């Protein structure tokens, strides 16, 4: 091992110049015996790890080829499985289950009650249990749950299935945010988050085509079960199969990745040192929970998710019925909803790439929020005779997800301390749940088929959300200036390896917030 002293040795920390002046050395000393898994791996390796640019690029390609396909396919199924109900709504499900009044809206909301109740517990389990294995369990469980929807015969049974579907799906988004922060540098996270989240759009394309094919096929050839039940069976069983593959192929972190050699595992950890976050710490820390609950940034994230996802909750469950209101048939609504998915794919990948390229994910993504507002204005303001224009307006709303994804990627980039990160992710997704619970209720049965009050609500919510994003941008910029002042103080000492001691973004003066 090198003769070089390491700051995680408490005796070395006490000798550091500046100890006690800026508080950093004391923080390091307090956490020296609770280091990140990465620190333990480097200590046991007994050698200095160096990473050149060529090796870094080769590793990144290898990680992309092995990690990203799994994240993308599972996230596509995550969206497809919870939106099957929208396709089923125009394929006879409402009639067969005897739904009336606001009962269909409550089916949309019930998914998020399960999600909401289990969101914080599942984030704790994501921290405490092996990340890959726990995520896989939830994928398999929600696939089995979805197949059960094909057996329900009434509103009460449908409510129960939707509740448990939300409960098991609560792990996927925070889990994928952890995977992204674990494997990728800050400069890489915006694009990668945009890519796997964009498979929501692919899900809408695939789901619409599958539902349309099933509807046409059962019209032409008599089926033994109702077409809407086939939709749930096909997507549910496919999810179970993918969940089993995820179990075997998705590593918990770099240190048990079978697709990497032992040397490459350490190099894969070294390449994310720049994040100042490490790769994971299983110890629960109350002070990090308290810091999250007093951090204005965390509450801004929650506020955005709650307000911006009011529209999402409505559109996710009512888009097929909304397209019908433009004057199209139920079968056409299944097919004509797919281009909105393509808009989402293009906007997410383009904004993810451009945001990382120019160093401003927030400002780039907000442009798509204004584009979505324009889309809803077209739906509200155009006369009924211009149904194509209304349809184009609906397609533009597909770009609204860019800001949600940008903030999700910033939870990966801008929140450090593993307990704090899981807490902030839970807060963000609790806001997401509450918004999605309320959202379907804005689509009142008495307002059918046009749902104008709901459409006006969408415009107002997205407008407020845009200004919340601007506030987050300026707050992060201000915090970076404060940290720069701390680093410029005469007594300040940059401590080696502090990025692997599970410090929070507030504790670590070297931490720089991504914009």
Q: Of 90-99, 114-123, 233-242, where does mean pLDDT reach its minimum?
A: 90-99
Q: Residue 321's pLDDT is what?
A: 78
Q: Which CATH superfamily is domain 53-257+272-500 in?
A: MFS general substrate transporter like domains (1.20.1250.20)
Closest CA to 421 of 170, 124, 26, 186: 124
**Among positive and negative, which fits the CA dihedral 405, 395, 114, 245?**
negative
Q: What is the mean pLDDT of residues 298-318?
A: 87
Burial class (CB within 10 angstroms; exposed 0-12, middle 13-18, buried 19+) of 92: middle
**pLDDT at position 433 over 80:** yes
SS3 breakdown of the chain: % helix, strand, coil, rounded to 5? 75, 0, 25
**pLDDT at position 124 over 70:** yes
List the alpha helices (DSSP H) in 337-360.
Answer: 338-358
**pLDDT at position 340 over 70:** yes
Q: Residue 496's pLDDT is what?
A: 65
d(CA 477, CA 470): 11
d(CA 261, CA 140): 29
Q: What is the mean pLDDT of residues 187-213?
A: 85
Q: pLDDT grade, residue 218 (50/70/90)?
A: low
Stronger pLDDT, 301 or 447, i.e. the higher one: 301
Average pLDDT of the chain, as a whole number: 84
**Among positive and negative, which fits the CA dihedral 288, 178, 302, 466?**
positive
**pLDDT at position 132 over 90:** yes
Q: Of 53-57, 158-162, 490-494, where does mean pLDDT reach its minimum?
A: 490-494
**CA Rg value for the chain:** 24
Domain limits, the chain: 53-257+272-500
d(CA 386, CA 378): 10
Q: pLDDT grade, residue 40 (50/70/90)?
A: low
**pLDDT at position 22 over 60:** no
- Per the CB < 8 A criterion, the answer to whether 505 and 513 are in contact is yes
Q: Of 65-69, 126-130, 299-303, where does mean pLDDT reach its minimum?
A: 126-130
Closest CA to 146 of 240, 247, 241, 242: 240
Burial class (CB within 10 angstroms; exposed 0-12, middle 13-18, buried 19+) of 61: exposed
Q: Residue 313's pLDDT is what?
A: 74
Q: What is the mean pLDDT of residues 37-48?
A: 60
* This prediction's pTM: 0.79
Q: 135-194 pLDDT, tens per residue?
A: 999 999 999 999 999 999 999 999 999 999 999 999 999 999 989 988 998 888 889 999
Q: 324-337 pLDDT, tens per residue?
A: 888 888 778 878 88
Q: Residue 10's pLDDT is what?
A: 37
d(CA 57, CA 50): 14
Q: Residue 333's pLDDT is what?
A: 81
Q: Of 40-54, 213-227, 393-407, where does mean pLDDT reach its minimum?
A: 40-54
Q: What is the mean pLDDT of residues 401-429?
A: 89
């Amino acid at each position: 091992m090198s003769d070089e002293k390491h700051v995680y040795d408490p005796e070395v920390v006490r000798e550091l110049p500046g100890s006690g002046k800026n508080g950093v050395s004391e923080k390091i000393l307090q956490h020296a015996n609770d280091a990140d898994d990465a620190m333990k791996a480097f200590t046991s390796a007994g050698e200095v790890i160096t990473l050149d640019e060529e090796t870094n690029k080769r590793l990144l390609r290898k990680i992309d080829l092995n990690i990203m396909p799994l994240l993308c396919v599972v996230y596509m199924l995550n969206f497809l499985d919870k939106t099957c109900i929208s396709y089923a709504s125009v394929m006879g499900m409402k009639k067969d289950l005897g739904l009336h009044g606001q009962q269909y809206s409550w089916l949309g909301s019930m998914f998020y009650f399960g999600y909401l109740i289990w969101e914080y517990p599942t984030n704790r389990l994501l921290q405490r249990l092996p990340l890959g294995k726990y995520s896989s369990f939830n994928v398999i469980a929600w696939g089995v749950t979805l197949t059960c929807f094909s057996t329900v015969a009434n509103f009460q049974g449908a409510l129960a299935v939707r509740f448990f579907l939300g409960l098991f799906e609560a792990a996927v988004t925070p889990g994928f945010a952890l995977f992204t922060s674990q494997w990728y540098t800050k400069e890489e996270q915006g694009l990668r988050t945009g890519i796997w989240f964009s498979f929501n759009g692919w899900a809408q394309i695939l789901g619409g085509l599958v539902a349309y094919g099933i509807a046409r096929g059962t019209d032409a050839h008599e089926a033994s079960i109702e077409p809407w039940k086939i939709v749930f069976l096909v997507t549910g069983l496919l999810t179970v199969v993918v969940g089993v593959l995820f179990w075997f192929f998705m590593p918990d972190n770099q240190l048990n990745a079978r697709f990497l050699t032992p040397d490459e595992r350490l190099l894969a950890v070294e390449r994310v040192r720049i994040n100042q976050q490490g790769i994971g710490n299983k110890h629960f820390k109350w002070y990090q929970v308290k810091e999250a609950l007093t951090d204005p940034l965390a509450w801004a994230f929650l506020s955005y998710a709650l307000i911006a996802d009011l529209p999402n909750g409505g559109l996710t469950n009512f888009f097929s019925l909304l397209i019908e209101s433009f004057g199209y048939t139920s079968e056409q609504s299944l097919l004509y909803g797919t281009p909105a998915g393509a808009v989402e794919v293009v906007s997410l990948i383009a904004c993810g790439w451009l945001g990382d390229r120019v160093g401003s994910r927030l400002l780039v993504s907000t442009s798509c929020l204004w584009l979505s507002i324009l889309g809803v204005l077209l739906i509200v303001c155009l006369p009924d005779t211009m149904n194509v224009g209304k349809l184009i307006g609906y397609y533009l709303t597909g770009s609204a997800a860019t800001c949600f994804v940008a903030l999700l990627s910033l939870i990966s980039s801008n929140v450090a301390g593993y307990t704090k990160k899981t807490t902030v992710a839970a807060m963000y997704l609790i806001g997401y749940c509450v918004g999605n619970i309320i959202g379907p209720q804005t689509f009142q049965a008495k307002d059918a088929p046009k749902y104008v009050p709901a459409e006006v609500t969408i415009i107002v919510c997205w407008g407020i959300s845009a200004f919340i994003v601007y506030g987050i941008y300026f707050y992060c910029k201000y915090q970076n200036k404060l940290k720069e002042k701390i680093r410029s103080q005469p007594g300040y000492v940059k401590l080696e390896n502090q990025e692997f001691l599970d410090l929070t973004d507030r504790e670590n003066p070297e931490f720089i917030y991504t914009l």
